[in-house]
Chain A
């Protein structure tokens, strides 16, 4: 199965700063990569699918890029509500797999 490695494990930034989160796949996943935001006690929230498509209702400050094995989620200017754990997920190969997550915390 495809292993997704997210980096960094923890990212400490301040509101207003730019956040760049990385997801690297053990083999190509084409463009079939999604990103989720997860806050404690809440349902995970789909942000980006198929590398760069924002899900319904997702603000424009969230963007995704990449292809093959290297992908990036960028949050252009952090809002207080953006501090959470972020996961990537591939659907290119069966079974679908998730990364271990990047915790975005307030500096």
Chain B
């Protein structure tokens, strides 16, 4: 059974960089598209971007200037960096896998999510 687990700081200061890692167990990172998705408190889900195991990426236009997603196939994990954060970036951040052969979803495996709060 594939499992995804997000990790990283739960508190980030405004203007700094948010960094999260998603560790994948029970399956290989190869051959799939891996996404980051977030949910601000009381709001809906927002797709941030994806990475393929080869390293190719695609980002949401609204976040593209601040987002970097990278992959480490040797560790079976991928990471998110979001720069110049503000309070509007406070959210539960999820990592997720797209169904094989699909890129922008559907997302068949998700992590449980990690709350990141942006505050001084």
Interface residues of A (CB under 8 A from B): 1, 34, 36, 41-46, 49-50, 55-56, 87, 89, 91, 94-101
Q: Within 8 Å CB of B62, what residues of A?
A: 95
Interface of A is mostly: loop
- Out of B44, B102, B104, which one reaches A99, CB within 8 Å? B44
B47 engages A95 (CB within 8 Å) = yes
B106 engages A46 (CB within 8 Å) = yes
Q: Within 8 Å CB of A95, what residues of B?
A: 47, 60-62, 104
Interface residues of B (CB under 8 A from A): 4, 43-47, 58, 60-62, 94, 96, 99, 102-113
Given the known inter-chain contacts A42-B112, A43-B110, A43-B113, please indicate yes or no for A94 contacting B94, CB distance below 8 A. Answer: no
A91 engages B61 (CB within 8 Å) = no
Q: Within 8 Å CB of A89, what residues of B?
A: 45, 105-107
- Out of A1, A43, A91, which one reaches B105, CB within 8 Å? A91
A44 engages B110 (CB within 8 Å) = yes
A43 engages B111 (CB within 8 Å) = yes
Nearest-CB residue, chain B, relative to A45 = B110
Contacts A43-B4, A45-B110, A46-B106 given; 11 further ones with Cβ under 8 A? A34-B105, A41-B112, A43-B94, A46-B99, A46-B107, A87-B44, A91-B103, A94-B58, A95-B47, A95-B61, A97-B47
Q: Within 8 Å CB of B102, what residues of A?
A: 91
A44 to B58, alpha carbons, bound, how many Å?
Answer: 22
- Out of B46, B61, B108, which one reaches A98, CB within 8 Å? B46
A55 engages B106 (CB within 8 Å) = yes
For the complex formed, measure the closest distance between the CB of B20 and the CB atoms of chain A, giving whole angstroms.
15
Q: Within 8 Å CB of A97, what residues of B?
A: 47
Q: Within 8 Å CB of B94, what residues of A?
A: 43-44
Nearest-CB residue, chain A, relative to B59 = A95
B47 engages A44 (CB within 8 Å) = no
A42 to B109, alpha carbons, bound, how many Å?
Answer: 12
- Give 9 CB contacts A-B under 8 Å: A44-B110, A46-B107, A49-B99, A49-B105, A55-B108, A87-B45, A91-B105, A95-B61, A100-B44
